Amino acid sequence: EPEVTQTPSHQVTQMGQEVILRCVPISNHLYFYWYRQILGQKVEFLVSFYNNEISEKSEIFDDQFSVERPDGSNFTLKIRSTKLEDSAMYFCASTEGENTEAFFGQGTRLTVV
């Protein structure tokens, strides 16, 4: 069964450092998303991406965040200068079309120290 793959599963980084979280969406999917879940809290939407551009972003997704689809398979989330409050589980998701079922990756647990 096709799945969304995220790497790494865990990442520890020092405050102020840049991190890149990687995702390989399902191959025929066209819409890509990042969500995050701070420990003990709800899953929150960060950004959606379609046709090589951001289609929507939340208030959380400020100038410190960026997304990119550098090639035909990867979808990345970059945090330029990490803060302690960026510590969270980050989930990548993809959908085949508009408002179809979202498939989530297993997540990357980011710890900023």
Partner 1 sequence: AQSVTQPDIHITVSEGASLELRCNYSYGATPYLFWYVQSPGQGLQLLLKYFSGDTLVQGIKGFEAEFKRSQSSFNLRKPSVHWSDAAEYFCAVGVKEYGNKLVFGAGTILRVKS
Which residues are near partner 1 by CB under 8 A? 31, 33, 35, 41-45, 48, 50, 55-56, 58, 91, 93, 95, 98-99, 101-107, 109
The total of other beta-carbon atoms located within 10 Å of residue 53's CB is 8
Contact 65, 47 (CB under 8 A): yes
| Least gap, CB of 16 to partner 1 (angstroms) | 27
| Least gap, CB of 31 to partner 1 (angstroms) | 6
| Least gap, CB of 84 to partner 1 (angstroms) | 21
* Alpha-carbon span 101 to 95, nearest angstrom: 6
